[in-house]
Amino acid sequence: MRPVNRGEEVLLLLKGADGFISGEKIASVLNISRTAVWKQISRLRKEGFQIEAHPRMGYSLVLSPDRLLPSEIRDGIKTSLIGSEIFYYEKIESTNAIAKNLAMNGAKEGTLVIAEEQTRGRGRLDRDWLSPANSNILMSLIFRPNLQAAKAFSMIMLTSVAIVKAIQVTTSLVAQIKWPNDIYLYNKKLGGILTEFNAEQDRVNFVVIGVGLNVNFDPCLYPEIKDTATSLKKVMGKEVKRAVLLRSILEEIERGYSDFSKGRISQIRSEWDHYSLVTGKHIRIHSLDNVEEGIAESIDDDGCLILRDINGNTKRILSGDVSLRVSE
Ligand code: ATP
């Protein structure tokens, strides 16, 4: 993907330089004045890039900030649709709220919203999603699939498969998917996915998929989740480069979405089964006024869970407002 502004173009030249690159060289490659180069360098420094300046040798990039800045995300990314527009925020209410707003106002498919911190991060059923600033991945993507509203939840399937594949590619860890919307690692919650959509006459206008993924934070920061949550850093004992993982997630989502759009759902479904934490297990499904028990057989193309009860009868469970517990 090409850089989209002058700051990113300057950054790319700094990153490609073996040590120092002169202001004159940057100015001539980008066809801008030396003053314009200096302005971009100051801007990058304000964003947290450490850039050394030397009167004769020019500029050298010493350190990039640990921020999911658009320039860091785009650096070497192999997607054409997903992340083609990026909206980055230090602190916002929630990435899904912003993404829905952008989608309502015509934002194009593939638009990515990233936040370092959310003041009102949400899971399903209006539950809190907790994350300290600058530590994890908090993002939302806008899709405009040609889809019936009833099938919008099937997009959780492709997103969860993409996330576990990206985690495996970047860290070699094999995470699992807990139906309907959670990512687990060694039986603790590593991430959650929140799908929201807008439809008219049963056709989807847009789908917003939000992801909260625990990368570098210590779950002990929050007493309410310290025993049930985990993070990649906690398991690996070292920090994970968030931008590298995020790029991989976006690339896997683009691949999955392309399969999905071509109707290759069975492939996504078999990958889902491969990573599923619940398939073949005895489970309980809790809804507001009911509990159902049985063996989780699989999921169908719409993202519904197929539950086989003790009498051998199967039933489709909609992901809507239910919680799943794996029996001991
Ligand atoms: P379940 O299906 O297990 O009933 P859920 O999938 O509906 O749960 P979500 O709504 O997706 O849960 O996520 C919100 C819940 O996740 C919160 O109530 C809290 O318990 C837990 N949680 C919040 N922040 C985090 C986090 N960063 N990591 C892990 N778990 C978290």
Q: Which sequence spans correspond to the domains of the chain?
A: 6-63, 70-275, 282-326
pLDDT at 110 over 90: yes
Q: Identify the residue with better confidence: 245 or 328.
A: 245
Q: Give the pLDDT of residue 3.
A: 55
Give me the residues paired with residue 229 across strands: 189
Q: Give the pLDDT of residue 279.
A: 93
Q: Give the pLDDT of residue 301.
A: 86
The span from the CA of 315 to the CA of 305, in Å, is 8
- Spacing, Cα 123 to ligand 1 middle (Å): 6
Report residue 29 as tokens: 């490659």
pLDDT band at residue 238 using 50, 70 and 90 as cut-offs? very high
How many residues does the structure list for the chain?
328
Q: Give the pLDDT of residue 323.
A: 87
Residue nearest to atom 4 of ligand 1 (CA): 323
108 lines ligand 1 (CB under 6 A): no
Q: What is the residue-averaged pLDDT of the chain?
A: 93
260 lines ligand 1 (CB under 6 A): no
Q: Domain 282-326, what fold? A: SH3 type barrels. (2.30.30)
232 lines ligand 1 (CB under 6 A): no
Of ligand 1's listed atoms, the one at least distance from the Cα of 217 is 27
Q: Give the pLDDT of residue 4.
A: 66
CATH, domain 6-63, list 1.10.10.10, 3.40.1830.10, 3.40.220.10, 1.10.150.20: 1.10.10.10
- Spacing, Cα 129 to ligand 1 middle (Å): 6
154 lines ligand 1 (CB under 6 A): no
Q: Give the pLDDT of residue 295.
A: 96
The span from the CA of 220 to the CA of 204, in Å, is 40
**What is the pairing mode between strands 203-213 and 314-317?**
unpaired
Give me the amino acid identity at 44: L
Provide the 8-state DSSP code for 256: H
pLDDT at 160 over 80: yes
| Whether the Cβ atoms of residue 20 and residue 54 lie closer than 8 Å to each other | yes
Give me the residues paired with residue 314 across strands: 308
Provide the phi-psi class of 318: left if phi over 0, else alpha when psi is between -120 and 50, else beta. Answer: beta
Q: Give the pLDDT of residue 111.
A: 98
| Whether the Cβ atoms of residue 99 and residue 141 lie closer than 8 Å to each other | yes
pLDDT at 328 over 70: no
Query: What tens digit of pLDDT does each residue of 39-80 get?
Result: 999 999 988 889 999 999 999 999 888 889 998 999 889 999
Residue nearest to atom 11 of ligand 1 (CA): 123
- Spacing, Cα 193 to ligand 1 middle (Å): 10
Is cis: bond before 180, omega within 30 of 0?
A: yes
pLDDT at 1 over 60: no
CATH, domain 70-275, list 2.130.10.10, 2.30.30.30, 3.40.630.10, 3.30.930.10: 3.30.930.10
Lay out the sheet containing 203-213: strands in order across. 86-92, 112-118, 137-143, 203-213, 188-200, 182-185, 176-178
Provide the 8-state DSSP code for 107: P
Count of C-beta atoms within a 10 Å radius of residue 49: 22
Count of C-beta atoms within a 10 Å radius of residue 325: 13
- Spacing, Cα 124 to ligand 1 middle (Å): 8
